[in-house]
Amino acid sequence: MISNGHSIEHVQLPGDPQRAQLVAALAKEAENEDNIAPFSEEFLKGLKDARLGHEHFIVEDSSTVVGCGAIHGDSAEMFIAPQYRGKGLGSALYAALVAANPAVQVWAHGNLAPAQAIAAAHGLKVVRRLLVMEVSGEALVAAAQADKAPLPAANLRESTKKWGRQVVEEQWLKANNEAFSWHPEQGGWDLERLHRAMEAPWFDPEDVLFLWDEGPQLAGFHWTKWHRESSPAFGEVYVIGLADSYRGKKLGGPLLTLGLHHLVDKGAHKVILYVEADNAPAVKIYERLGFEIAEQHCVWARGD
């Protein structure tokens, strides 16, 4: 597809490592300009990992990469380099995504002005809103001491040593898929998906915390993430979930506290988390613990 000297090419970037690297570098430039990454962690992985099955749309100007869109299922992410915005390229890239998949829904990380302009031009509406909340300083220290866990806690390394890898991973998957049966990204995991997530360069088995009942039965887990790429480093409530049979037993608070305490002990002065904006009960709990909204990410889709 060629328009006004610019081209949009449909490719799968894992098969083109050189351009995949160019897109990753361009995404970093956009992040530095906008103070927010245009691609999520999963879509960045998709630039190089063919197992994810992402499709890519490269925008070029005189053979120079100036933007990229990616589709996985009905979900997409896209960006145009800051110096090339305002030329209609974002709108053309969105049109290419829709031509490939008419049901596509596009993430707008930070919901910045360029994304809102494209949405307005195409009559899109917000169908999902994800909040980034954070807590820091004295409020974080207090939150890390809020609730004591009524069940024994152990990290992934300790749990595997005691119960064996197969038992731990089977119960971890079961709890995850029960807790996130409704979730488009976190639900329906299998062992291959879990192992792929554990390949992340930041993954540390000591940052995955479990609450165990007799049996052993996994009551819940709190997978924390340490952002060592930042200075100073900070923590994240990455994934937290309870098994079905342990819901309604007031374990959510202690499970959250368990992870916060771990991150504070690790040296965190700030902790973030992601939560769906329409999950009002969870948002209220986090607000009571001192979390405040720092960012929002929206999914835009056609209204027809």
246 annotated as ligand-binding: no
- Give the whole-angstrom CA distance, residue 203 versus residue 206: 9
282 annotated as ligand-binding: yes
CA 170 from chain centre, in angstroms, equals 23
| Helices vs strands, H then E, count in the chain | 10, 13
241 annotated as ligand-binding: yes
277 annotated as ligand-binding: no
Q: Which residue has the tokens 């090339």?
A: 84
Q: For residue 50, how many other CB atoms are within 10 A of its CB?
A: 11
- Give the whole-angstrom CA distance, residue 189 versus residue 87: 41
- Give the whole-angstrom CA distance, residue 26 versus residue 81: 7
281 annotated as ligand-binding: yes
Which phi-psi region, left, alpha or beta, contains residue 6 (left: φ > 0; alpha: ψ -120 to 50)?
A: beta
84 annotated as ligand-binding: no
240 annotated as ligand-binding: yes
What letter represents residue 14's amino acid? P
- Give the whole-angstrom CA distance, residue 304 versus residue 301: 9
Reading the block at residue 169, the tokens are 């991973």
259 annotated as ligand-binding: no
242 annotated as ligand-binding: yes
219 annotated as ligand-binding: no
Q: For residue 267, how many other CB atoms are within 10 A of its CB?
A: 11
238 annotated as ligand-binding: no
28 annotated as ligand-binding: no
Q: Which long-range contacts link 40-48 to residues 24+ away (Cβ below 8 Å)?
A: 40/77, 40/107, 40/109, 41/200, 42/72, 42/185, 43/70, 43/72, 43/77, 46/13, 46/14, 46/70, 46/72, 47/13, 47/14, 47/20, 47/23, 48/13, 48/14, 48/17, 48/20
Q: Which residue has the tokens 């997978």?
A: 223
42 annotated as ligand-binding: no
263 annotated as ligand-binding: no
> Binding site membership: which residues?
41, 185, 225, 236, 240-242, 274, 279-284
Binding residues for acetyl-CoA: 240-242, 279-284
